A = this chain, B = another copy of it.
Amino acid sequence: MAASETARIEAFSDGVFAIAITLLVLDLKVPKELEPGRSLASALMVQWPAYLAFVTSFLTILVMWVNHHRMFTLIERADDRLLLFNGLLLMGVTLVPFPTSLVAEHFHLAGGPTAAIVFNGTFVYLAVCFNLLWRTAAVGDRLLNPQCDRAAVRGIFESYRWGPFLYGLGLALAFVNVGASLALNLGLAIFFALPQRERKGSAV
């Protein structure tokens, strides 16, 4: 928290990631008044889109947190532009519980497509922010540690490029088929959360 110039940005960002991921639970509602003849179990089961949205958002924020750290192990200096794009990224992260709640409550209703569009739109926004943040730091090695691992730098350029496209595909799907769009989001979250290959000692 003292050595590196970017340590405070990381610590603050960590706090925001940890709080946003924990606030997701507030989107799971305890059924209050059960209609006559309805059991609590069935009232809980009918909320399944809320659980899927919770898991999707949890895994997505978790993967974003891992990526944020991988990025900051390579970044050595900070400037106002980096702070700005990191702030815009964090704004998207804090926002996630809202579209998650939208999907949880409106999936079954007429507003389902709108909810899925906002949900996917938030992830497109976040994928764009990740690219802006990374390019601010890495293009021309502006803020990178000059001795840092060049393969890791190329790897991030490579993988971030796909984010806006993949979540954009989910956004397009939301206009056509809400279920397919949310399934794609959940699939992406699981795919990125699964171990890619065993990278001993370079995971965070």
A residues with CB within 8 A of B: 1-12, 14-26, 28, 30-32, 34, 39-41, 43-44, 55, 58-59, 62, 65-66, 69, 77-84, 87, 90-91, 94-98, 101-102, 105-106, 109-111, 114-115, 118, 143, 193-201, 203-204
Q: Which of B78, B94, B199, B203 contacts A22 (CB 8 A)?
A: B94
| Known A-B contacts A12-B18, A14-B12; A25 and B83 likewise in contact (beta carbons under 8 Å) | no
Are B39 and A195 in contact (CB-based, < 8 A)? no
| Known A-B contacts A22-B19, A23-B22, A94-B21; A87 and B59 likewise in contact (beta carbons under 8 Å) | yes
Which residue of chain B has the shortest Cβ distance to A20 in the bound complex?
Answer: B22
Which residue of chain B has the shortest Cβ distance to A194 in the bound complex?
Answer: B84
Q: Which residues of B contact A58 (CB under 8 A)?
A: 91, 94
Are A114 and B69 in contact (CB-based, < 8 A)? no
Q: Which residues of B contact A19 (CB under 8 A)?
A: 15, 18-19, 22-23
Give bound CA distance, A198 to B82, whole Å: 10
Are B193 and A84 in contact (CB-based, < 8 A)? yes
Q: Which residues of B contact A78 (CB under 8 A)?
A: 201, 203-204
Which residue of chain B has the shortest Cβ distance to A72 in the bound complex?
Answer: B8
CB distance from A28 to the nearest CB of B (A): 5
Q: Which of B8, B18, B81, B101 contacts A16 (CB 8 A)?
A: B18
Are A79 and B15 in contact (CB-based, < 8 A)? no
CB distance from A150 to the nearest CB of B (A): 21
Q: Which 8 A-B pairs have the closest CB atoms?
A: A40-B111, A15-B18, A80-B195, A19-B22, A40-B114, A78-B203, A28-B98, A22-B94
